[in-house]
Amino acid sequence: MLDHLSFYLVVVVLITFLIMLADRVKIAYPILLVLAGLGISLIPGIPMIHIEPELIFLIFLPPLLYEAAWTTSWKELWRWRRIVLSFAFIVVLLTAIAVAFVANYFIPGISLALGFLLGGIVSPPDAVSAGAILKFMKIPKRFQSILAGESLLNDASSLIIFRFALVAVATGQFIWAEAAASFLWMCLGGVLIGVLVGLVFYKVHRLFPTSANIDIILTFVAPFVMYITAEELHASGVLSVVSGGLFLSYRAHQFLSSSSRLRAVTVWESIVFILNGIVFMLIGLDLPEIVQGLGTTSVWTAFKYGLLITAVLILVRILAAYGALVVTLVMRNFITVADRDLPPNLKMPMIFGWSGMRGVVSLAAALSIPLTLSDGSPFPQRNLILFITFVVILLTLVVQGLTLPWLISKIKLEDRDFIKPEREIDNEIRHELAKIAIAKVKKDYRHKLEQFPALSEQLQIWENRVNSSEIIFNYDEYRDINTAILEEQRKWIIAKNRSELLLDEEIIRKHLRLLDLQEEKLNLGS
């Protein structure tokens, strides 16, 4: 690996520039990274990328899933639990079954067990890809919530199918009773282990005198402990990480200080940024090794197989989306649903069905297929399955990813959940927070106002906010003015630090951080 260190550093720098370019041209960065990796892999003399299959899940999945769990709204997940669970488990299973039978019928050498293996690999849509695309689009909040919740759980169900299929391929038999018991333990055991490990970390944070740095280290260690513990006990490591992450994120304000929360967000964003970038680049870079293993199967023939499987995935997801709508219309006569009294939205299923891009988990699962069986013989059709997975990821990212924004612009979706404008809601919250602050000061600290003039000034600011009926509609201009003021203050502090040699550097850094927090507050309000 050290022999190619300069190459890896160049790849990391390239990933950074490509993501910046993607933001500039408003294209989802996974698309550019995959295409760039593909292009680089075709350059003569480029080192062939090889990753040990057993390390794929351990390196990438725990931190990516953990971060996703922390950023997922538990309230929204519970609100849309029925459709989320349906797509995360039932639709994934139906997709794997459809892929298994189509692959078994149309692709020579693919048995039904290998078909299920392929189905388990390509069945889960990728949240990172969809999120990167949808961030440029204005879409209903419920759509984002359902997509995030589904992607958080469908990885677990697809990997369970993947694991059972591996056993069936290796042994040549499948015992339903044992599979049912194993499935139950993998699901329930994974959730239980994740919550228990999360509880241990929660107690460590609460009982020990941790600092912000230690808190961040513990949050980084937690997903790996959850995943490894569950896998060692033959439960689902994915469900363990997801459930443990949800457990801790729901209680983050109980055991993490404000400093720890602010710094952890920055650190985790950087970690996930580089991990996602590396994974999508690897999808393209790994192509030469996959192609070399195709053997007698031509690249064009393998590509057609990938095209066929991609079509199956898209069709099944769209049919499942409309099927879910029909089921909702029937079941809302018997149970309480979110849109009980509203007419059905016939456009949403098409958008939801078309947003099933594949990515990180599919690649990780495909690469983790063992090279040999237990008897030492080569794993059957491993490279063909890898190539088909590559084609599925490439086609869904490029074709669906590039056309989804156009489709959303043509099918205008109304947001049924948030009737009030965002600025109005934001102003109401600011108004109520100011009222709470005023009441607290006047009740408990009125006698301190003369002692602390700054507190008196802050009280006046809160009272002005409550008494003012002004709503800043042109917030962008307001933010730009304040940002310019902060920048002028920042320049003065830096100049003063450089001109006075005996000025304490820590004091300067503290005030610069305060200015940064004020600017971040302005950006959060936009």
- 196 has pLDDT over 90: yes
- 142 has pLDDT over 70: yes
Q: pLDDT-derived band of residue 3, with 50, 70 and 90 as boundaries?
A: low
- DSSP string over 169-211: HHHS---HHHHHHHHHHHHHHHHHHHHHHHHHHHHHHHHS---
Identify the CA nearest to 31 among candidates 144, 136, 137, 133. 133
Q: What pLDDT, on a 0 to 100 scale, did the predictor assign at position 314?
A: 92
Q: What pLDDT, on a 0 to 100 scale, did the predictor assign at position 471?
A: 57
Which has the higher per-residue pLDDT, 63 or 131?
Answer: 63
- 174 has pLDDT over 70: no
Q: What pLDDT, on a 0 to 100 scale, did the predictor assign at position 78?
A: 82
- DSSP string over 304-329: HHHHHHHHHHHHHHHHHHHHHHHHHH
Q: What pLDDT, on a 0 to 100 scale, did the predictor assign at position 50?
A: 66
**Residues in CB range of 139: below 8 A, 6 or more apart:** 351, 408, 413
Q: Report helix angle 299-331 to 382-395, nearest 10.
A: 60
- 237 has pLDDT over 70: yes
Distance CA 300, CA 283 (A): 19
- 229 has pLDDT over 90: yes
Query: Do residues 118 and 385 lie in contact, with contact meaning Cβ atoms separated by under 8 Å?
Result: yes
Judged by DSSP in three states, 420 sits in: coil
Distance CA 149, CA 155 (A): 11
Which has the higher per-residue pLDDT, 381 or 56?
Answer: 381
Q: What pLDDT, on a 0 to 100 scale, did the predictor assign at position 331?
A: 59
User: CA-CA distances (angstroms) from residue 257 to 213, 214, 260?
Assistant: 11, 12, 5
Q: What pLDDT, on a 0 to 100 scale, did the predictor assign at position 286?
A: 74
Q: What pLDDT, on a 0 to 100 scale, did the predictor assign at position 505?
A: 67
Q: Give the residue-averaged pLDDT of 189-196.
A: 94
Identify the CA nearest to 392 among candidates 352, 358, 354. 358
User: CA-CA distances (angstroms) from residue 50 to 75, 114, 498, 503?
Assistant: 41, 23, 49, 52
Residue entry with tokens 């309230």 = 75
Q: What pLDDT, on a 0 to 100 scale, did the predictor assign at position 429?
A: 67
Listed ranges 150-154, 193-197, 351-355; the one with the highest mean pLDDT: 193-197
Q: What pLDDT, on a 0 to 100 scale, did the predictor assign at position 106?
A: 93
Residue entry with tokens 């042109």 = 474
Distance CA 69, CA 85 (A): 15
Q: What pLDDT, on a 0 to 100 scale, did the predictor assign at position 76?
A: 78
Q: What pLDDT, on a 0 to 100 scale, did the predictor assign at position 227?
A: 93
Judged by DSSP in three states, 372 sits in: strand
- 366 has pLDDT over 90: no
Q: What pLDDT, on a 0 to 100 scale, did the predictor assign at position 228?
A: 94
Q: pLDDT-derived band of residue 341, with 50, 70 and 90 as boundaries?
A: very low
pLDDT tens digits for range 408-428: 878 776 666 655 666 666 677
Would you give the end-to-end CA distance of the chain in angstroms? 44
Which has the higher per-residue pLDDT, 500 or 23?
Answer: 23
Domains observed in the chain: 2-174+276-410 (1.20.1530.20), 422-524 (no CATH)
pLDDT tens digits for range 108-141: 888 888 999 999 999 988 766 666 666 666 777 7
Query: Do residues 417 and 410 lie in contact, with contact meaning Cβ atoms separated by under 8 Å?
Result: no
- 498 has pLDDT over 80: no
Identify the CA nearest to 363 among candidates 155, 80, 152, 99. 155
Q: What pLDDT, on a 0 to 100 scale, did the predictor assign at position 77?
A: 81
pLDDT tens digits for range 425-474: 667 767 777 788 888 888 888 888 878 787 788 788 778 877 765 555 56
- Poorest-pLDDT segment among 7-11, 29-33, 482-486, 505-509: 505-509
Residue 340, phi then psi, degrees to nearest 5: -55, -40
Identify the CA nearest to 193 among candidates 220, 227, 162, 152. 227
Which has the higher per-residue pLDDT, 239 or 27?
Answer: 239
Average pLDDT, the chain: 80
Listed ranges 27-36, 155-164, 217-226, 346-355; the one with the highest mean pLDDT: 217-226
